[in-house]
Structure 1
Amino acid sequence: MQVAFFSTKSYDRTFFDRFNNGHSFTYFENKLDHRSVALASDHDAVCVFVNDVLDQPILEALAKSGIRLIALRCAGYNNVDLDAAKRLGIGVVRVPAYSPHAVAEHAVALILTLNRKTHKAYNRVREGNFSLERLEGFDLYGKTVGVVGTGKIGEVFAGILQGFGCRVLAYDPYPNAALESRGIAYVEKDTLLAQSDILSLHCPLTPETHHFIDEAALQKLKPGMMLINTSRGALIDTHAVVKALKDQRVGYLGIDVYEQEADFFFQDLSDSIIHDDLLMRLLTFPNVLITSHQGFFTEEALTQIAQITLANLSACEQGKYLDENTIVKPA
């Protein structure tokens, strides 16, 4: 199968070439959008990532160029117009799970770093400043941690926090029996917001979860709590959270995703002017920690992403479908 890869970096090429089982790849660093869609010509499929654009006009252009399969090398598919894909006969496959430990552990890393201020201590010591002033944290033991979304990542995250001795509460329309058997209680959204010292988001972005944390939700939070998001940026209303940070309703914010990240993340912009006043405002807060969508970025996860994506491509080439990985079957 001839596959056009978009939004690729060196690590994508390394892992996909390592496990390639007979397909032909063309790697493009370009993000897939209206300017780059023509690059998909003369290919059978496109392989895309979280910030590639797959709306109706792009899908129509792909269909005209002969593309019959979209292989997402990620779990989320909120960037794909599924109705248009079905109508055009384009198949859509994804990687539903790739080392859930990677993202869950990164969420914990954000919590520990924000709490114990290790990033600030590291910079101080490098400058010969060994003062402990303003580095005070708190014990995680005994704190109440709310988990929104208890799929594979949320389940792993909840288990890690139980290991710290935290009281874990969960919110999900579809409770996870394994977590309930470990004593984790499912509660209503308002209860979760009011009781959580730390709230971590691990749900997909859907119309129902868009701005799950909005101004109304922020008003219900325990003052000074910690908010963590390693899922999708638009789960949080960024304008509202900036106000909550200023009002000290949110005491700590750790995000690995951002609503407008497609214009910035996965790029080196250190010599550029960043034209996003909201992102720059977030960076001025001393109690905000932002990483650039690196939660998935472990050797184990990259290996699974490559292997599962390649299995999807091979199955579709043979007219077969891996059901749990298939969102839309090609015509």
Structure 2
Amino acid sequence: MKVAIFSTQSYDRESFNRVNADFGHDLLFLEPALNAATAILADGCNAVCVFVNDVADAETLKALRHLGISTLVLRCAGFNQVDLQAAKDLHISVFRVSSYSPEAVAEHAVAMIMTLNRKTHKAYNRIREGNFSLERLTGFNLHGKKVGLIGLGQIGLAFAKIMQGFGTAVFAYDPMPKDVPSYIQLQDYDTLISTADVISIHCPLNEHTKHMVNHQSFDKMKDGVMLINTSRGAILDSNDAIEALKRGKLGYLGIDVYEQEDKLFFRDLSESLIADEQILRLMSFPNVLITAHQGFFTTEALTEIAETTLQNLTDAEKGSLNQNQL
């Protein structure tokens, strides 16, 4: 099957080409993101492959169907960027990578917690400048703290397991929990956010979760709470987070995702003027840590993503049953 892979980075080429040796698909790597205007780049292909910041709305899907494309594969777990009803109406099959090394994202969330807490990023820069002072680097013991999870999917469960190893009390909110380990205590949303010392977001983005963490949520949280988001940017209302930081309600904020990240992330803008005032404001806080959607970025995860995506293409081509079809 000939597939146009949008939003291609160098690591996509490396992992997909390596894994594709066992599949034999015809891969066309494209650097632009998919949208209604760039869909024409997939002309001559049977399928398209998209990532988190590509746009597969009704207009884009119509453009793809006009080109004869009937298969869309996501190389990610989230599918909020796809209009599934429009895809169904246009007879476009949609597949995702339902699971790829949940430990990768969970471990990145933990890394953000430890970095913000023990300020290792600041210590690193100080030492390089010959400053060996410990002033203003005080952290806190994670052991014994209450950690609250929003979402208990595979990533949330992997994160909870790590937190249990730190000796924390692990609590979680999930509207439809399944097979919850005994060391995780379920709570309702308001109770969890009002009592946790550290809150980590691990839920999908949909109409129910968009901006679910907002000014009303912050008003209920402890003063100085730590909030980590490695899920989807729009779950957190960034403007409300800025206000919570300004008044000291948020003591620490770590985000690997951002609501307007499609204009920023996965690009080198070091020689450019960044026009996004919101991200610039967030970057100005000393207690904010931002990474550019890096949580998934391990060798193991990249390999699993490529393997599952290419298998999805093979199954679509053969008409085989596939649990990753949406």
TM (normalized to structure 2)? 0.99
Partner of 1:306: 306
Tell me the residue number matched to 1:97: 99
Q: For 1:67-103, what per-residue CA distance to the aligned partner results, in whole angstroms no more than 9, with x for missing partners?
A: 1000000000000000100000000000000000000
* Other-structure match for 1:28: 30
1:174 matches 2:176: yes
1:73 corresponding residue in structure 2: 75
Check whether the contact 1:117–1:135 (CA below 8 A) recurs between aligned residues: yes
Q: Using the TM superposition, give the Cα deviation of residue 3 of structure 1 relative to its aligned residue in structure 2, in angstroms.
A: 0.3
Instruction: Output the CA distance in 2 between the equivalents of 1:267 and 1:230.
Output: 19
Aligned residue identity for 2:91: G
Structure 1 residues not aligned, in runs of 5+: none
**CA contact under 8 A between 1:312 and 1:321: conserved in structure 2?**
no
Identity %: 57
Task: After TM superposition, give the deviation of residue 34 of structure 1 in Å.
Answer: 2.5
Aligned residue number for residue 5 of structure 2? 5
Contact persistence 2:164–2:183 (CA under 8 A):
no
For each residue in 1:213-272, what CA deviation from the matched residue of structure 2 results, as whole angstroms up to 9, or x when unmatched?
Answer: 011111100110000000000000000000000010000000000000000000000000
Choose from 46, 51, 56 the match for 1:44.
46
Q: Structure 1 residue 120: deviation in Å?
A: 0.2
State the Cα distance separating 1:33 from its structure 2 match: 1.4
1:222 is matched with 222
**Alignment-derived partner of residue 235 in structure 2:** 235
Distance of 2:172 and 2:178 partners within structure 1: 9
Instruction: Tell me whether 1:190 sits opposite 2:190 in the alignment.
Output: yes
In the TM superposition, what is the alpha-carbon distance from 1:184 to its structure 2 partner? 1.3
Letter in 2 for 1:17: N
Aligned equivalent of 1:326 = 325
Match of 1:159 in 2: 161
**Using the alignment, how far apart are the partners of 2:183 and 2:306 within structure 1?**
36
SS, match of residue 326 in structure 1: coil
Q: How many residues align?
A: 324
- SS of the aligned residue for 2:199 comes to strand
What amino acid is aligned across from residue 285 of structure 1 in structure 2?
Answer: F
SS in 1 for 2:53: coil
Aligned to 1:118: 120
1:19 CA displacement: 1.1
CA distance in 1 between counterparts of 2:36 and 2:209 reads 27
Task: Select 1:127's aligned residue among 109, 129, 138.
Answer: 129
Q: Which residue of 1 aligns with 2:289?
A: 289
Q: State which drifts further: 237-246 or 167-176.
A: 167-176
CA contact (8 A) 1:6 1:31 kept: yes
Find the aligned partners of 1:48 and 1:173 in 2 and give their Cα distance: 29
Q: Distance in 2 between matches of 1:31 and 1:235?
A: 22
Does structure 1 conserve the Cα–Cα contact (< 8 Å) formed by 2:244 and 2:250?
yes
- On the 8 A contact 1:196/1:225 being kept in 2, the answer is yes
Residue 60 (1) aligns with residue 59 (2): no
Partner of 1:254: 254
Q: Determine helix, strand or coil for the equivalent of 2:105.
A: helix
> What is the Cα deviation at residue 277 of structure 1?
0.3
Cα distance between partner residues in 2 of 1:256 and 1:152? 18
CA shift, 1:192, in A, is: 0.3
Q: What residue identity is the alignment partner of 1:158?
A: A
Q: Find the residue that maps to 1:226 and give its secondary structure.
A: strand
SS at 1:142 equivalent: coil
Whether the aligned pair in 2 keeps the contact of 1:102 and 1:298 (CA below 8 Å) is yes
